[in-house]
Amino acid sequence: MSSNRPPAPRGEPERPRVDPNLEVREHRRGQRPGDSYVRIVRPFEEEFEHEGGRLVATERTMHGRTGWSSTMLGLRTFLIGRPISSEEEHSERLTKVKALAIFSSDNISSSAYGPEEILRVLSFAGAGALLLTLPIAALIIGMLMIVMLSYRQTIKAYPLGASSYLVASDNLGDRAGVTAAASLLIGYVVTVAVSVSAGVAALTSIEPALFDFRVVLGVALVGILALGNLRGIRESGSIFMAPTYLYIVLLLGIMGYALFRLASGSLPDYVSPPEWALEDGSSALGLFLILRAFSQGAVALTGVEAISDGVPAFQAPEWRNARTTLTWATIIFGVLFLGIAYLVTTLGIIPDPSEEQTVLSLLIRHVVGDGWLLVLAQVATALILVLAANTSFADFPRLSSFLARDGFMPRQFGFRGERLAFTTGILALSAMAVVLMITFGGSVAGLIPLYTLGVFVAFTLSQTGMLVRWWRRRELGWRRGLLINGLGAATTAVVAVVVGSSNFFQGSWMVIVLVPALMALLLGIRSHYRAMATQLKVDARADDDTVPDPIVIVPIARLDPPARRALAFARHISPDATGVHITNDPDSAAALRKDWEELGGPMELVVVESPYRALIGPLLRYMNALQAQAPDRPIVVVLSEIVPRHWWENLLHNQTSLRLKLRLFGRKNTIVADVPYHLHDE
Amino acid sequence: MSSNRPPAPRGEPERPRVDPNLEVREHRRGQRPGDSYVRIVRPFEEEFEHEGGRLVATERTMHGRTGWSSTMLGLRTFLIGRPISSEEEHSERLTKVKALAIFSSDNISSSAYGPEEILRVLSFAGAGALLLTLPIAALIIGMLMIVMLSYRQTIKAYPLGASSYLVASDNLGDRAGVTAAASLLIGYVVTVAVSVSAGVAALTSIEPALFDFRVVLGVALVGILALGNLRGIRESGSIFMAPTYLYIVLLLGIMGYALFRLASGSLPDYVSPPEWALEDGSSALGLFLILRAFSQGAVALTGVEAISDGVPAFQAPEWRNARTTLTWATIIFGVLFLGIAYLVTTLGIIPDPSEEQTVLSLLIRHVVGDGWLLVLAQVATALILVLAANTSFADFPRLSSFLARDGFMPRQFGFRGERLAFTTGILALSAMAVVLMITFGGSVAGLIPLYTLGVFVAFTLSQTGMLVRWWRRRELGWRRGLLINGLGAATTAVVAVVVGSSNFFQGSWMVIVLVPALMALLLGIRSHYRAMATQLKVDARADDDTVPDPIVIVPIARLDPPARRALAFARHISPDATGVHITNDPDSAAALRKDWEELGGPMELVVVESPYRALIGPLLRYMNALQAQAPDRPIVVVLSEIVPRHWWENLLHNQTSLRLKLRLFGRKNTIVADVPYHLHDE
pLDDT digits (tens, 9 = 90+) for A582-599: 887 778 888 888 888 876
- Does residue B555 sit in the same domain as residue B522? no
Would you state the torsion angle of the CA atoms of residues B529, B534, B538, B544, taken in this order, to the nearest 10 degrees? 10
* Pairwise pLDDT comparison (A521 vs A602), residue with the higher score: A521
What's A279's DSSP letter? P
Which pLDDT score, from 0 to 100, does residue B30 have? Answer: 61
Would you state the torsion angle of the CA atoms of residues B421, B422, B428, B430, taken in this order, to the nearest 10 degrees? -20
Question: Which residues of B are less than 8 Å from A644 in CB distance?
Answer: 528, 532
- The H-or-E segment that residue A54 falls in is strand A54-57
- Which of these three, B473, B495, B529, is where a domain ends? B529
Q: Are residues B644 and A528, on separate chains, in Cβ contact within 8 Å? A: yes
- Does residue A244 sit in the same domain as residue A329? yes
Compare CB distances from B54 to A5, A589, A680 and report the shortest one's residue.
Answer: A589
pLDDT, mean of residues A65-87: 58
- Does residue B517 sit in the same domain as residue B451? yes
Domain membership of residue B73 (yes or no) is: no
Cα–Cα distance between B469 and A364 in angstroms, integer?
87
Q: Are residues B655 and A617, on separate chains, in Cβ contact within 8 Å? A: no
Domain membership of residue B110 (yes or no) is: no
> Please, how many CA atoms are within 13 Å of residue A320, restricted to the half-sphere of its CB?
3
| pLDDT of A234 over the 60 cut | no
Residue A78, classified by CB atoms within 10 Å of its CB into exposed (0-12), middle (13-18) or buried (19+), is: exposed
Cα separations in angstroms, A254 against A248, A251, A368, A369: 10, 5, 8, 11
Q: What tens digit of pLDDT does each residue of B578-634 get? A: 888 888 777 888 888 888 887 656 788 888 887 777 778 788 888 888 888 887 888
Residues with Cβ within 8 Å of B47's Cβ and at least 6 positions away in sequence, in order, are A621, A625, B57, B58, B60, B61
Residues A168 and A177: beta-carbon distance below 8 Å: yes
Looking at the complex, report in whole angstroms how far the Cα of residue B591 sits from the nearest Cα belonging to chain A.
Answer: 13
Which DSSP string corresponds to A100-145?
HHHHSHHHHHGGGTHHHHHHHHHGGG-GGGGGGHHHHHHHHHHHHH
Cα–Cα distance between A429 and A409 in angstroms, integer?
14
- Does residue A520 sit in the same domain as residue A568? no
Domain membership of residue A383 (yes or no) is: yes
- Does residue B521 sit in the same domain as residue B565? no
Question: Which residues of B are less than 8 Å from A64 in CB distance?
Answer: 617
Q: What is the CATH number for B294?
A: 1.20.1740.10
pLDDT-above-70 percentage for chain A: 83
Question: Which residues of A are less than 8 Å from B586 in CB distance?
Answer: 54
Size of interface A-B (CB pairs under 8 A): 374
| pLDDT of A171 over the 50 cut | yes
Residues A118 and A345: beta-carbon distance below 8 Å: no
Looking at the complex, report in whole angstroms how far the Cα of residue A605 sits from the nearest Cα belonging to chain B.
Answer: 9
- Listed residue (B637, B642, B581) closest to B609, CA to CA: B581
Which pLDDT score, from 0 to 100, does residue A10 have? Answer: 44
A678 → chain B, closest CA residue: B668
Compare CB distances from A57 to B44, B609, B652 and report the shortest one's residue.
Answer: B609
Residues A492 and A460: beta-carbon distance below 8 Å: yes
Which pLDDT score, from 0 to 100, does residue B92 have? Answer: 63
Looking at the complex, report in whole angstroms how far the Cα of residue A21 sits from the nearest Cα belonging to chain B.
Answer: 7
Q: Are residues A575 and B19, on separate chains, in Cβ contact within 8 Å? A: no
Which pLDDT score, from 0 to 100, does residue B10 have? Answer: 44
Question: Which residues of B are less than 8 Å from A675 in CB distance?
Answer: 671
Q: Are residues A611 and B54, on separate chains, in Cβ contact within 8 Å? A: no
Question: Which residues of B are less than 8 Å from A84 in CB distance?
Answer: 612
A607 → chain B, closest CA residue: B54
Residues with Cβ within 8 Å of A66's Cβ and at least 6 positions away in sequence, in order, are none
Which pLDDT score, from 0 to 100, does residue B17 have? Answer: 67
Cα–Cα distance between A610 and B546 in angstroms, integer?
31
Best interface-test mutation with A: which of B73, B77, B549, B638 has the largest number of A CBs within 10 A?
B549
Mean pLDDT of chain A: 81
Which pLDDT score, from 0 to 100, does residue A229 have? Answer: 81
Q: How far apart, in Å, do the first and last CA atoms of chain A sit? A: 44
Cα–Cα distance between B657 and B663 in angstroms, integer?
10
Compare CB distances from A547 to B565, B575, B649 and report the shortest one's residue.
Answer: B565
Compare CB distances from B607 to A55, A531, A629 and report the shortest one's residue.
Answer: A55
Q: Are residues A57 and B586, on separate chains, in Cβ contact within 8 Å? A: no
Q: How far apart, in Å, do the first and last CA atoms of chain B sit? A: 44
Which pLDDT score, from 0 to 100, does residue A12 have? Answer: 43
Residues B345 and B118: beta-carbon distance below 8 Å: no
Residue type, B564: R
Q: What is the CATH number for B611?
A: 3.40.50.620
Q: Are residues B548 and A675, on separate chains, in Cβ contact within 8 Å? A: no
Residues with Cβ within 8 Å of B351's Cβ and at least 6 positions away in sequence, in order, are B116, B119, B120, B123, B276, B359
- Does residue B516 sit in the same domain as residue B412? yes
- Does residue B443 sit in the same domain as residue B559? no
Residues A121-152 as b/e (b if ≥16 CB within 10 A, e otherwise) read bbbbbbbebbebbbebbeebbebbebbbbbbb
A9 → chain B, closest CA residue: B546
- Does residue B505 sit in the same domain as residue B604? no
- Listed residue (B145, B419, B447, B117) closest to B304, CA to CA: B145
- Listed residue (B504, B427, B403, B494) closest to B179, CA to CA: B403
Which DSSP string corresponds to A590-647?
HHHHHHHHHHSTT-EEEEEE-TT--SHHHHHHHHHHHHHHSTTS-EEEEEEEEE-SSG
Residues A428 and A403: beta-carbon distance below 8 Å: no
Question: Which residues of A are less than 8 Å from B628 in CB distance?
Answer: 43-44
Residues with Cβ within 8 Å of A172's Cβ and at least 6 positions away in sequence, in order, are A461, A464, A465, A468
Which pLDDT score, from 0 to 100, does residue A425 have? Answer: 87
Compare CB distances from A15 to B59, B549, B669 and report the shortest one's residue.
Answer: B549
Compare CB distances from B652 to A87, A525, A568 and report the shortest one's residue.
Answer: A525
Question: Which residues of B are less than 8 Å from A679 in CB distance?
Answer: 531-532, 535
Domain membership of residue B604 (yes or no) is: yes
Report the 10 Å Cβ neighbour count for B453: 31
Residues B47 and A609: beta-carbon distance below 8 Å: no
Which pLDDT score, from 0 to 100, does residue A310 have? Answer: 77
Query: pLDDT class for A239, splitting at 50, 70, 90?
Result: low
Compare CB distances from A560 to B19, B411, B540 and report the shortest one's residue.
Answer: B540
pTM beyond cutoff 0.90: no
Residues B613 and A418: beta-carbon distance below 8 Å: yes
Residues A108 and A303: beta-carbon distance below 8 Å: yes
Residues A353 and A272: beta-carbon distance below 8 Å: no
Which pLDDT score, from 0 to 100, does residue A8 have? Answer: 41
Q: Are residues A54 and B608, on separate chains, in Cβ contact within 8 Å? A: yes
- Does residue A622 sit in the same domain as residue A571? yes
Question: Crossing angle for the helix pair B67-80 and B214-230, nearest 10 degrees?
Answer: 100
Question: Which residues of B are less than 8 Å from A7 in CB distance?
Answer: 4
Q: Are residues B630 and A18, on separate chains, in Cβ contact within 8 Å? A: yes
Compare CB distances from B24 to A410, A629, A679 and report the shortest one's residue.
Answer: A629
- Does residue A506 sit in the same domain as residue A591? no
| pLDDT of A105 over the 50 cut | yes
Q: How many structural domains does chain B have?
A: 3
- Which of these three, B529, B562, B595, is where a domain ends? B529
Q: Are residues B61 and A617, on separate chains, in Cβ contact within 8 Å? A: yes
In the beta sheet, which residues pair with residue A643? Answer: A678
| pLDDT of A421 over the 90 cut | no
Compare CB distances from B528 to A418, A553, A652 and report the shortest one's residue.
Answer: A652
Best interface-test mutation with A: which of B2, B5, B18, B605 has the largest number of A CBs within 10 A?
B18
Best interface-test mutation with B: which of A40, A54, A59 has the largest number of B CBs within 10 A?
A54
Which pLDDT score, from 0 to 100, does residue B349 have? Answer: 87
pLDDT, mean of residues A169-193: 90
- Does residue A452 sit in the same domain as residue A556? no
A83 → chain B, closest CA residue: B612
Domain membership of residue A53 (yes or no) is: yes
B567 → chain A, closest CA residue: A545
Question: Which residues of A are less than 8 Å from B635 in CB distance?
Answer: none
Question: Which residues of B are less than 8 Å from A622 in CB distance?
Answer: 22, 48, 55, 57, 61
In the beta sheet, which residues pair with residue A671? Answer: A636
Domain membership of residue B69 (yes or no) is: no
Looking at the complex, report in whole angstroms how far the Cα of residue B547 sits from the nearest Cα belonging to chain A.
Answer: 6
Domain of residue B310, residue span: 122-529
Question: Which residues of A are less than 8 Å from B682 in CB distance?
Answer: 527-528, 531
pLDDT, mean of residues A395-424: 81
Looking at the complex, report in whole angstroms how far the Cα of residue B568 sits from the nearest Cα belonging to chain A.
Answer: 6
Q: What tens digit of pLDDT does each residue of A652-664 get? A: 776 777 888 888 8
Cα–Cα distance between B525 and B531 in angstroms, integer?
10
Question: Which residues of B are less than 8 Å from A47 in CB distance?
Answer: 621, 625
Q: For B581, list phi and psi in degrees, rounded to 5.
A: -120, 115
Residues with Cβ within 8 Å of A271's Cβ and at least 6 positions away in sequence, in order, are none
- Does residue A247 sit in the same domain as residue A169? yes
Report the 10 Å Cβ neighbour count for B269: 7
Compare CB distances from A613 to B416, B550, B589 and report the shortest one's residue.
Answer: B416
Compare CB distances from A671 to B15, B655, B674 and report the shortest one's residue.
Answer: B674
Question: Which residues of A are less than 8 Å from B55 in CB distance?
Answer: 606-609, 622
Residues B341 and B135: beta-carbon distance below 8 Å: no
Residues of chain B predicted below pLDDT 70: 1-17, 24-43, 52-53, 59-92, 232-240, 278-285, 417-421, 541-546, 599-601, 647, 650-651, 654, 680-682
Number of H helices, E strands in chain A: 22, 9
Residues A192 and A222: beta-carbon distance below 8 Å: yes
Cα–Cα distance between B416 and B85 in angstroms, integer?
11
Domain membership of residue B621 (yes or no) is: yes
Looking at the complex, report in whole angstroms how far the Cα of residue B507 sits from the nearest Cα belonging to chain A.
Answer: 30
Domain membership of residue A586 (yes or no) is: yes
Cα–Cα distance between B650 and B672 in angstroms, integer?
19
Q: What tens digit of pLDDT does each residue of A533-557 get? A: 888 877 776 655 667 788 899 998 8
Looking at the complex, report in whole angstroms how far the Cα of residue A588 sits from the nearest Cα belonging to chain B.
Answer: 13
- The H-or-E segment that residue B48 falls in is strand B48-51
